[in-house]
Amino acid sequence: MVMKWRDAITMDRVPVLTLIVFLLVSWASTVYFLDHSVITVPSPFTPVWAAYNHPDAARLVSWAICGLLLALLVPLPGRPPSWTVLISTIGKQVRPLSWLWILITFGAMAALVATKGRYLLEAPQYLIFTAPPALVSASSVAQPMAVLAAGFLSVRHPLLGRIAMVLWLVLLFACATRVFAGVVVLYMVGRFLAGGRVSWLGWLFTVLVTVVLLPIPLYCRDLTEHGLIPYARAISEVILEPSFIKESLLTTTSSFGFSVPLLVFTSHEYGITQQDMLISLNPGPGRLVGWDDILFSMRVHEFIPYSALGEWASFGGFALMLFTLVWGLVVRGCLRSVGSNPHPTMVLFLSALLGMAMLTVVMITQYNTRAVSRIISMMIAVALLERVLRPATAAFLRRWSLRRARTGESAARGPVADALA
Please write the tens of the pLDDT for every residue from 194-243.
Answer: 888 888 888 889 888 887 787 888 788 878 899 999 999 988 887 767 66
On the question of pLDDT at 100 being above 80, the answer is yes
Closest-CA residue to 319 (of 48, 60, 55): 60
In a domain, 267, yes or no: no
Angle formed at CA 301 by CA 299 and CA 304, multiple of 5 degrees: 70
Contact 364, 19 (CB under 8 A): yes
| Whole-number pLDDT of residue 142 | 84
Dihedral angle of Cα 336, 340, 343, 346, to the nearest 10 degrees: 10
Question: Which pLDDT does position 141 carry in this prediction?
Answer: 78
Average pLDDT over residues 293-316: 92
Comparing C-alpha atoms, which of 307, 210, 328 is closest to residue 260? 307
Structural domain tally of the chain? 1
This prediction has a pTM of 0.76
CB atoms closer than 10 angstroms to residue 141: 18
Residue 137: inside a domain, yes or no? yes
Q: Region 172-200: what's the mean pLDDT?
A: 88
Q: Are 339 and 347 in contact (CB under 8 A)?
A: no
Query: Is 279 a member of any domain?
Result: no
CA dihedral 260, 261, 265, 267 (to 10 degrees): 20
* C-alpha to C-alpha distance for 216 and 218, rounded to whole angstroms: 5
CB 351 within 8 A of CB 192: no
Decide if 263 contacts 307 (C-beta within 8 A). yes
173 found inside a domain: yes
- Find, among 1, 10, 26, 27, the residue nearest to 72 by Cα: 10
pLDDT at residue 370 greater than cutoff 90: yes
Give yes or no for a contact between 108 and 352, defined as CB atoms under 8 angstroms apart: no
Cα separation, 217 vs 64, whole angstroms: 28
Tens of pLDDT, residues 39-65 = 666 778 888 999 999 999 999 999 999
* Least confident range of 52-61, 260-269, 332-341: 332-341
Average pLDDT score, the chain: 86
Instruction: Please give the distance of CA 199 from its chain centroid, rounded to a whole number.
Output: 23
**Are the beta carbons of 61 and 19 closer than 8 angstroms?**
no
184 is in which domain, residue-wise?
81-242
Q: Are the beta carbons of 127 and 387 closer than 8 angstroms?
A: no
Give yes or no for a contact between 19 and 361, defined as CB atoms under 8 angstroms apart: yes
Query: Which helix (H) or strand (E) element contains residue 299?
Result: strand 299-301
Which of 249, 215, 261, 210 has the alpha carbon at shortest distance from 30?
A: 261
Helices marked H in 284-368: 286-289, 291-294, 308-313, 317-339, 346-366
Q: Which uninterrupted H or E stretch holds 63?
A: helix 54-73
Question: Which residues share a beta bridge with 299?
Answer: 305
d(CA 161, CA 198): 15
Q: How far is it, in rounded angstroms, from Cα 271 to Cα 34?
A: 28
- Name the band, by pLDDT with cuts 50, 70 and 90, for residue 245: low
Q: How high is the pLDDT of residue 115? A: 93
Does residue 235 sit within a domain? yes
- Dihedral sign for Cα 185, 186, 192, 197, please: negative
Total residue length of the chain:
421
Mean pLDDT of 354-364: 88
Q: Shortest CA distance to 147 belongs to which of 176, 171, 130, 174?
A: 171
Instruction: Establish how many alpha carbons lie within 13 A of residue 313's alpha carbon, considering only the half-sphere containing its beta carbon.
Output: 29
Q: What is the DSSP letter of 222?
A: T
Would residue 272 be called left, alpha or beta, if left means φ above 0 and alpha means ψ between -120 and 50 degrees?
beta
Range of lowest pLDDT (71-80, 354-363, 404-413): 404-413
Q: How far apart, in whole angstroms, are the C-alpha atoms of residue 106 and residue 119?
A: 19
Does any domain span residue 406?
no
Lowest mean pLDDT among 313-322, 341-350, 367-376: 341-350
Q: Which residues contact 317 (CB under 8 A, 6 or more apart)?
A: 59, 60, 62, 63
- Residue 2, CB half-sphere, CA atoms under 13 Å: how many? 2
pLDDT for residue 299 is more than 70: yes
Residue 228 domain-assigned? Answer: yes
Maximum Cα–Cα distance across the chain: 94
Confirm whether 103 is domain-assigned.
yes
